[in-house]
């Protein structure tokens, strides 16, 4: 039988281990919450004074370019690129996820697609930019344009959308599939009526995550779609300005630090608005 003194010491050791673990969790949790908040506060402190309606609605001007005016063409170009990229990535990504999760392909095919998607999701964005430049801009003669940049961003988003949609669909309990199929309905009907409504929130969150990742990427569009200044209407065959590349030009030329911080603040604010909107929509859909 263990002496009482040893039992009490062992219990005291476990108590101190729990306290230390609890303290570490709180410290790292607070740091994880404070670091993004500090970045936002810093950007607002440095660039908030430059935020105005002219900044949002005018084109860049001044010498060096960007020292005055605004960023309206950059905002329009970024939104156009993301919209075109989603038109490329959504059908292929969600369609492949539905096939892999609902139509029981061979296990080898499922593992191969999952492995390739995970690998391509980790490929540096500049590699996609080089691929888009070599194949789309030069090979297919699309030139530096909205179309070439949109397709390139669609390729950037595709593996993220595929993996996220697959996990969201597979996360739905199998009893909904089994019950529907036991009643004699088709797989497509069971998916539309039972599976998709329950997986919709996860798919939507994945799409926004992929769009946010592409929205802040400068490397893929630097070689395929970006231009320093664009005042013409947006067209598929024309180059466009984007917020990340506009920020890159402002910082590299050191034309205006206030404009640069304001551009970064607008970029972060748009990403936060998109993610917050999806969170609210997901919560409403789940209720």
Q: Tens of pLDDT along 228-243?
A: 877 667 888 888 888 8
In terms of DSSP bridges, do strands 60-61 and 68-69 run parallel, antiparallel, or are they unpaired?
Answer: antiparallel
Element (H, E) at 68: strand 68-69
Pick one of 3.30.2310.20, 1.50.10.10, 1.10.3720.10, 1.10.10.10 as the CATH number of 56-286: 1.10.3720.10
pLDDT the model gives residue 165: 92
Element (H, E) at 181: helix 174-182
Residue 199 has pLDDT above 60, yes or no: yes
User: From CA 171, how far away is CA 232, in angstroms rounded?
Assistant: 46
Q: Which two tokens stand for residue 16?
A: 């101190």
Quick one: average pLDDT of 198-214?
88
Structure confidence by residue, pLDDT tens digits, 110-168? 889 888 888 888 888 889 999 999 999 998 988 889 999 999 999 999 999 999 999 88
Which pTM was predicted? 0.84
Instruction: Give residue 33's pLDDT band: very low, low, confident or very high (50, 70, 90).
Output: confident
User: From CA 179, how far away is CA 190, in angstroms rounded?
Assistant: 9
CA distances from 192 to 98, 141, 185, 242 (A): 11, 40, 11, 37
pLDDT the model gives residue 7: 53
Residue 3 has pLDDT above 70, yes or no: no
Q: Which of helix, strand or coil describes residue 285?
A: helix
* 88-92, 174-178, 192-196: range with highest mean pLDDT: 88-92
Q: Helix 257-286 to helix 72-102 angle, to the nearest 10 degrees?
A: 30
Residues written for the chain? 287
- What's phi and psi for 78, nearest 5 deg? -65, -45
pLDDT the model gives residue 35: 87
Quick one: average pLDDT of 65-93?
87
Which of 70, 73, 67 is CA-nearest to residue 227?
A: 73
Quick one: average pLDDT of 164-176?
86
Structure confidence by residue, pLDDT tens digits, 248-274? 888 877 667 778 888 888 888 888 888
pLDDT the model gives residue 232: 64
Element (H, E) at 16: helix 4-47
């Amino acid at each position: 039988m263990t002496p009482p003194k040893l039992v009490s010491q062992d219990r005291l050791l476990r108590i101190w281990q729990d306290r230390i673990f609890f303290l570490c969790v709180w410290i790292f949790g607070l740091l994880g919450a404070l670091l993004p908040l500090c970045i936002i506060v810093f950007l607002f402190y440095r660039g908030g004074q430059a935020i105005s309606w002219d900044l949002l609605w005018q084109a860049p001007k001044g010498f060096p370019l960007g020292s005055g005016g605004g960023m309206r063409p950059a905002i329009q170009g970024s939104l156009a690129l993301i919209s075109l990229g989603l038109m490329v990535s959504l059908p292929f990504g969600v369609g492949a996820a539905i096939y892999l999760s609902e139509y029981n392909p061979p296990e080898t095919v499922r593992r191969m697609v999952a492995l390739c998607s995970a690998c391509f999701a980790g490929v540096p964005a500049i590699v996609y930019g080089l691929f888009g430049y070599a194949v789309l801009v030069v090979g297919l003669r699309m030139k530096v344009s909205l179309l070439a940049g949109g397709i390139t961003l669609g390729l950037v988003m595709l593996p993220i959308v595929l993996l996220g949609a697959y996990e969201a669909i597979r996360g739905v309990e199998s009893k909904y599939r089994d019950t529907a199929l036991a009643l004699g309905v088709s797989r497509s009907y069971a998916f539309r009526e039972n599976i998709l409504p329950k997986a919709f929130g996860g798919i939507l969150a994945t799409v926004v995550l992929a769009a946010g990742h592409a929205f802040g990427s400068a490397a893929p569009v630097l070689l395929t779609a970006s231009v320093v200044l664009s005042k013409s209407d947006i067209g598929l065959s024309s180059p466009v300005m984007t917020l990340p590349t506009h920020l890159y030009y402002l910082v590299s030329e050191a034309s205006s630090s206030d404009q640069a911080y304001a551009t970064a603040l607008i970029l972060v604010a748009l990403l936060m608005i998109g993610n917050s909107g999806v969170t609210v929509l997901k919560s409403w859909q789940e209720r």
